Amino acid sequence: MNAALAEAVIAGGRPVAAEAVLDARGLSFAHAGAGTVFDGISLSIRRREIVALLGSSGCGKSTLLRVLAGLETPATGEVRFLGQPQAEPHPRSALVFQQPSLLPWLKLADNVGFGLDFAHQPRAGKAALAARVAAAIEAVGLAGREGAYPAQLSGGMAQRAALGRALAREPELLFADEPFSALDAITRAEMQALLVDVVHRWHSAVLLVTHDIDEAILVADRIVLMGGRPGHLVQEWSVDIPRDREDHPDAVAELRLAILAALRHASP
């Protein structure tokens, strides 16, 4: 096995990294009447770490993301954000969805700044918020389009705006649920590179939910494979391939085959 690919089977009771931004222990979740979605899931995300949660459609990874983001309450287990038990979504976390889900009645700048002045958000001056919005728009390459409405943006531009909206919250942790799977292949590649670039500049950690093995390998520092019914974490890989990873096709291909082999074992 390539030395660049350190492989580790998920084991219970892993020591919690001191710099964990998110730490989840023993999570399970069940929909009323629909049975257990996932069970026995422990996952820790370090500061500035990009973690890809990889799994087939319907394996419960989106539900897991919502539980980790504080949008759903787990049946058992606990989620800690920056060491504190999380009862509701943390102000220093942000969401990006598969669809841009911009508010069509707001200009781009107002979409990016949406909700920053809500009652439960940390207090910040108008000028400080405006600067955060401007920096986020600049980072996602939409400077000059502040006055545009969502209907006037292409699909790729709208998803850039959605990423900007998440950045404006200066997140410690960005939850991204298949954020690029609705985009064409060329735009998707651009957005993957942009995501890595901006989260490095913003010093944010990312939990990227995806069913795209290549996306996970190109973007993530660590890949966690989810599978089974009820869902559980099957295996994980640290991705030590230097960036840009397109320049190391052999290492990418080797990891890809390792993940495919694991997927074959995981599926019944």
Partner 1 sequence: MTGLLFPLAGLLAAALLWAAGAGWMESTTPVASAFAPMATAEALQALLLGSDLWAHVAFSLQRVAVGLAIALALGIPLGVLTGLSPLFSTATTPLFQFARMISPLSWMPIAVMVLGVGDAPVYFLLAFAAVWPILLNTAAGVSQLDANWLLLARSLSATRIETLLSVVLPGITAHILTGVRLAIGIIWIVLVPAEMLGVSEGLGYFILDARDRLAYSDLMAAILVIGFLGYLLDHAARSLHRRWLHA
The amino acid sitting at 88 is: E
Q: Taking CB under 8 A as the rule, which mask of x and - marks residues 208-247 in contact with partner 1? A: ----------------------------------------
Rule CB under 8 A: is residue 94 a binding residue for partner 1? Answer: yes
C-beta of 95 vs 252, nearer to partner 1? 95
Rule CB under 8 A: is residue 159 a binding residue for partner 1? Answer: no
Pick one of 24, 54, 69, 109: the residue that binds partner 1 (CB under 8 A).
69
Rule CB under 8 A: is residue 253 a binding residue for partner 1? Answer: no
| Closest separation in Å from C-beta 262 to partner 1 | 31
C-beta of 36 vs 114, nearer to partner 1? 114
Would you say 53 and 41 are in contact if contact means Cβ atoms under 8 Å apart? no
Would you say 116 and 124 are in contact if contact means Cβ atoms under 8 Å apart? yes
Pick one of 10, 30, 48, 89: the residue that binds partner 1 (CB under 8 A).
89
Would you say 29 and 38 are in contact if contact means Cβ atoms under 8 Å apart? yes
**For residue 30, what are its two tokens?**
């069940």
Rule CB under 8 A: is residue 101 a binding residue for partner 1? Answer: yes
Count, residues near partner 1 per rule CB under 8 A: 26
C-beta of 9 vs 119, nearer to partner 1? 119
Per this entry, what is the length of the chain?
A: 268
CA distance 78 to 113: 31
Q: Taking CB under 8 A as the rule, which mask of x and - marks residues 129-158 in contact with partner 1? A: --------------------xxxx------
Measured at the alpha carbon of residue 247, what is the angle toward residues 241 and 253, in degrees to the nearest 5? 60
The amino acid sitting at 258 is: A
CA distance 32 to 24: 22
Pick one of 2, 73, 76, 121: the residue that binds partner 1 (CB under 8 A).
121
Query: 135-173 as b/e, with b when 16 or more CB fall inside 10 Å?
Result: bbbebbbbeebeebbbeebeebbbbbbbbbbbbbbbbbb
**Footprint of partner 1 (CB under 8 A):** 66, 69-71, 88-89, 91, 93-95, 97, 99, 101, 103-105, 114-115, 118-121, 149-152
